[in-house]
Amino acid sequence: MIILGIETSCDETAAAVLAGGAKVLASVVASQDQIHAPYGGVVPELASRRHVEVILPVIQKALGDAGVSLPGLEGIAVTQGPGLVGSLLVGCSVAKSLAYVRRLPLVGVNHLEGHIYAAFLQEPTPSYPFLALVVSGGHTALYLARAPLRYELVGQTRDDAAGEAFDKVAKLLGLGYPGGPVIESTARSGDPNAIQLPVAQMTDGAPDFSFSGIKTAVSLHVKRGRPLSPGQVADIAASFQATAVKMLVRKTVRAALRLGVRRVVLTGGVAANKTLRGALQAEATERGWELFIPPPSLCTDNAAMIAAAGHARLEAGERASLTMNALPDMRLA
């Protein structure tokens, strides 16, 4: 089955063509980083307007790169949620229009499930059950995947997502946007033990995450130390990154041990961070676990992962009607 995937949940306009649920024939992503950089974060109205401008050229390029025409498609998968409602509506509207014109089966995909399915786009692929840490700019959560298309929410952030915290700390340090890559590059010359930052613990013992405390601690440290030298900025970046990674890895390991799971998937935009990848790999190696991490290009928002998840749902017999609407608060489990 050859499927067109469309992703517009936030500020990336993406389209991909997938064959057989795993072979990526083409993947095109149009970034909006330069548009949102002056504001230090995504401006929803600007994001949706840009999607409208570029989505058709992006789809056309994906089809061209894949050597596939619209009549050659056998299905369409589109991100239905969660995300920014204005952005989601652009992708859903285009997907429904194409499905109507070509009489193609259509399926709406949960963006987080798409991130999980990114792990199925390279060999080896994870076997069930596995624990997935989905960590991005808008989401930080642990899901237990017991079987295909069956998920249980294990833990989630109670405030900021990890990627959002990276963006906000980068803004505090005057490093620019997006925060993840610039924090990582700045941290390379810093001391990760220079500053002691809090690691959030839930008083009720829940396996949830919280990044508001570490963000506030960084803010207070920056205000006390102004003006900061380049070395101090690097130390703060390194200390923040190390603490955030420690929090993510610790919660994941504890959840896997409690659930008796020996396979872990790390995915989402923040999964492109080399320090996080290395730390979780070290834990997995020490415990004899299998760890699956998509390449960085498939960790950040893309449409190949949406097509992969959509393929699984289409194969399971799911179909969306042409009245399908965007669900900005769509839940995976």
CATH superfamily of 128-293: ATPase, nucleotide binding domain (3.30.420.40)
d(CA 31, CA 329): 23
Residues of the chain with pLDDT under 70: none
Q: How many helices (H) and strands (E) does the chain have?
A: 11, 10
Q: What is the DSSP track for 97-128?
A: HHHHHHT--EEEEEHHHHHHHGGGSSSSPPPS
- Say what the pLDDT of residue 102 is: 97
Domain positions in the chain: 2-117+298-315, 128-293
- Say what the pLDDT of residue 267 is: 98
Please tell me whether residue 327 adopts helix, strand or coil conformation.
coil
For residue 144, the cross-strand partners are 131, 152
- Say what the pLDDT of residue 205 is: 80
CATH superfamily of 2-117+298-315: ATPase, nucleotide binding domain (3.30.420.40)
> Comparing 2-117+298-315 with 128-293, is the CATH topology the same?
yes
The 10s digit of each residue's pLDDT in 159-177 is: 999 999 999 999 999 999 9
323 by Cβ neighbours in 10 Å (0-12 / 13-18 / 19+) ranks as exposed
- Say what the pLDDT of residue 333 is: 87
| 45 touches 292 (CB < 8 A) | no
- Say what the pLDDT of residue 142 is: 98
For residue 26, the cross-strand partners are 17
